[in-house]
Amino acid sequence: MTAQRRALGANGPLVSRIGLGCMSLSGVYGDADDAASEKLIHHVLDQGVNHLDSSDMYGWGHNEEVIGRAIKGRRDQVFLASKFGQIRREGGGNGVDGSPAHVAAACEASLKRLGVDHIDLYYQHRVDPNVPVEETVGAMTRLVEQGKVRWLGLSEAAPDRIRRAHAVHPISAIQTEYSLLYRTEAEQTREVTQELGIAFVAYAPLGRGFLSGTINTLEDVGGRRAQHPRFLPENFAHNHALAMRVADFAREKGCTPAQLCLAWLLAQGDDVFPIPGTRSASRFDENLGAQDVVLTAEEAARISATIPAGAAAGTRYPAGGMKGVFI
């Protein structure tokens, strides 16, 4: 299968419509095996998928090191995205740091772990409410000038902040959660990104696996996901029923539930780039197959109406995490 590619943002680079979200290669959703992860990345690149999404906080450096080893000798086949801005606080817990000094230091450390001389798409992972976005993006602009970074992105920034950032330096992509399970904030964000010619990278496009049809009991929920409100016992049955509606549509369309989710996202517009995560080559192939599942406008609208925005039970993150998203 050959991956379809589209320009990422106005006059942007050609990026595969479906990428690989690499977060779960660092044990976030259960055990991951580094040798298998490197093989998976080779397989992904062999299919012509160039978009690999990482962050310095996935396994606190581990994720970038795995990717760095995997892409050795294949750098020119990769559109490499990573992120900075989340930090570990002394004594436990995560914080954010969008200060210019941190931007420069974090990028240097990521380049070293990745073993590359530049990152293609560099995102601020979480907004730092204590640092004006103009200052953070100013520091990111210097990375572009130094050739360490090619394109800039923000994750989970709200529309106003996106406009302010874009006024400092063109923003190529916004990455925010976007799936049939959670899309209210993504839809509000896309009103601005579409106006400004910014691409929308859809993270957790399978609802952290909930919409894939393979999570049917609480025991099926692996790793840190169990703390997410969507999987809590009081919300599980409601959200599982939504996943079953996805499965019904998939049966009607002759594809798998994961493919239906991704095809629905692709049908929303050429600006949308889903990055499903998986540790398995066969699931990756299945997910890539979504590019050939074409939904008519009528089908996409019917799916949207059956699983309306806001239908999920529980917030996207636990209460602490919700304070840092869409701000």
Q: Catalytic positions, please?
A: 58
Closest CB to ligand NAP among residues 66, 204: 204
Beta-strand (E) ranges in the chain? 5-7, 14-16, 20-21, 51-53, 79-84, 86-88, 94-96, 119-124, 149-155, 173-177, 199-203, 272-274
**8 Å CB contact between 307 and 207:** no
Closest CB to ligand NAP among residues 192, 256: 256
**Rounded-to-integer distance, Cα 214 and Cα 74, Å:** 33
In the complex, minimum distance from the CB of residue 202 to ligand NAP, in angstroms, rounded to a whole number: 8
Closest CB to ligand NAP among residues 68, 277: 277
3-class state of residue 217 by DSSP: coil
In the complex, minimum distance from the CB of residue 125 to ligand NAP, in angstroms, rounded to a whole number: 6
Question: What helix, strand, coil percent values describe the chain, rounded to 5?
Answer: 45, 15, 40
In the complex, minimum distance from the CB of residue 222 to ligand NAP, in angstroms, rounded to a whole number: 7
Closest CB to ligand NAP among residues 89, 224: 224
DSSP string over 245-284: HHHHHHHHHTS-HHHHHHHHHHHT-TTEEE--B-S-HHHH
**8 Å CB contact between 130 and 102:** no
In the complex, minimum distance from the CB of residue 298 to ligand NAP, in angstroms, rounded to a whole number: 25
Closest CB to ligand NAP among residues 203, 264: 203
CA-based nearest residue to 181, from 156, 196, 159, 203: 203
With residue 185 as reference, give the H or E element that holds it. Answer: helix 184-196
**8 Å CB contact between 24 and 212:** no
In the complex, minimum distance from the CB of residue 209 to ligand NAP, in angstroms, rounded to a whole number: 3
Closest CB to ligand NAP among residues 128, 286: 286
Q: Which residue is nearest to ligand NAP (CB)?
A: 21
Which residues is 2 bridged to in the sheet?
none
In the complex, minimum distance from the CB of residue 229 to ligand NAP, in angstroms, rounded to a whole number: 14
Asked whether the CA dihedral 194, 198, 199, 204 is positive or negative, the reply is negative
Binding site for ligand NAP (CB under 6 A): 21-24, 29, 53, 155-156, 175, 203-209, 212, 214, 258, 275-280, 283, 286-287
